[in-house]
Structure 1
Amino acid sequence: DVDGVWFVQTATGDPAVDTQVSADAEAQRIWCVNASDHEASAAWTPAVAVVDDVQ
């Protein structure tokens, strides 16, 4: 259910479910991060790693 929201993040571990959530969000013009397929995502979250003092 994406009604009334402006941002969705889907990371269910099931690519079919993530694809459906992304499609539902896209149909309502809602930003969506799809963890299963970054190229199909309308938005991305950055990945950051810290090792000692290097980021």
Structure 2
Amino acid sequence: MEALLRERNVTRAALRPNLGRPALSARLNRLRPVFADPLFVPLRHSAVCSINASHQ
């Protein structure tokens, strides 16, 4: 998650911990219901923290 916060792009963030984009997306999909929040919202060619996620 730290890489995604830093990179603001799922594809680039997935390269950092060597996870791969599908694995990072799957992790995000598992966390969304836990926090009842989208966590990251797509914006143009990046992903920004949702309002709730930025306060965690």
Shorter-chain TM-score category?
Answer: 0.3 to 0.5
Q: Which has the larger radius of gyration?
A: 1
TM-score w.r.t. length of structure 1: 0.34
TM-score w.r.t. length of structure 2: 0.33
